């Protein structure tokens, strides 16, 4: 019989595993950020010095789109310069991500003047060093909208149930496929075994017949010599 196909040799199994890993990772990251946010509501959660933010408006298009997840890195505000994109807290304590268009100093204090790429005017309030949350590093298209959905309790339950169902269905399908393969291999083995037996029987019968004919010839020769 052929050697059984290992589960890790199936591309479909790996595809399912990778999809589940990505989904579970996003869920865990979202739960972690939510936990940090609840623990300290005055501080934006960070992961290894990086802060993720969900983009809620199109003020930075086409550089950054609504629904994207952006990553910002904690940075020393003194190193920032004009044209850098930063995440900062505005006057309403809401995090905004805009571009630095100018840097001014008033009464010995340095401020950033910011503006959205799609906005016609600069932001109304100046940004202090303490307001800066980080510098823009990268964006992941549409992931922010997904994470926003995953923050809802009902969605979290659906995801957990869905991931569990995918694993169970995948396991059952893989088991059925393996059983069908084993059944097919068993039938093929039986067919080959029966075929070998029939050939062996034919060969044995042929040898017996040949022996009988040889013996008969010997008897005839012996009879001729006696005469």
Per-residue model confidence as pLDDT tens digits over 70-79? 999 999 999 9
Query: What top-level class would CATH report for the domain 44-143?
Result: mainly beta
Produce one character per residue of 142-178: b if its CB has 16 or more CB atoms within 10 Å, e if not. ebbbbbeebbeeebbeebeeebeeeeeebeeebeeee
For residues 155 and 135, what is the distance between their CA atoms, to the nearest angstrom?
31
Each domain of the chain, given as residue ranges in start order, spans 44-143
Note the Cα 221 to chain centre separation in Å: 86
pLDDT in tens, the chain (227 residues): 445 555 555 666 676 677 777 777 766 766 666 665 555 555 666 778 888 888 989 999 989 999 999 999 999 999 999 999 999 998 888 899 999 999 999 999 999 999 999 999 999 999 999 999 999 999 989 887 776 776 666 666 776 677 677 767 766 766 666 666 767 777 777 777 676 666 776 666 665 556 655 555 555 555 555 55
- Do residues 96 and 112 make contact, with C-beta atoms less than 8 angstroms apart? no
């Amino acid at each position: 019989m052929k050697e059984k196909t290992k589960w890790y040799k199936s591309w479909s199994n790996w595809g399912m595993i990778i999809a589940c890993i990505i989904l579970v990772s996003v869920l865990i990251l979202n739960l972690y950020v939510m936990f940090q946010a609840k623990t300290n509501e005055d501080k934006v959660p960070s992961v290894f010095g990086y802060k993720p933010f969900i983009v809620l408006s199109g003020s930075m298009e086409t550089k950054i789109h609504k629904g994207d997840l952006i990553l910002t890195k904690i940075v020393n505000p003194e190193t920032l310069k004009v044209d850098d994109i930063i995440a900062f807290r505005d006057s309403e304590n809401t995090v905004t991500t805009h571009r630095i268009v100018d840097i001014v100093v008033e009464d010995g204090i340095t401020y950033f003047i910011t503006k959205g790429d799609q906005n016609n005017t600069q932001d109304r309030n100046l940004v202090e060093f303490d307001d800066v949350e980080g510098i823009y590093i990268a964006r992941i298209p549409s992931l922010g909208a997904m994470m926003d959905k995953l923050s809802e309790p009902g969605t979290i339950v659906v995801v957990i149930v869905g991931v569990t169902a995918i694993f169970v269905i995948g396991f059952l399908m893989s088991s059925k496929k393996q059983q069908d393969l084993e059944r097919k291999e068993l039938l093929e083995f039986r067919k080959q075994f029966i075929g070998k037996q029939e050939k062996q029987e034919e060969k044995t019968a042929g040898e017996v017949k040949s022996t009988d004919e040889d013996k008969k010839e010997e008897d005839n020769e012996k009879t001729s010599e006696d005469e």
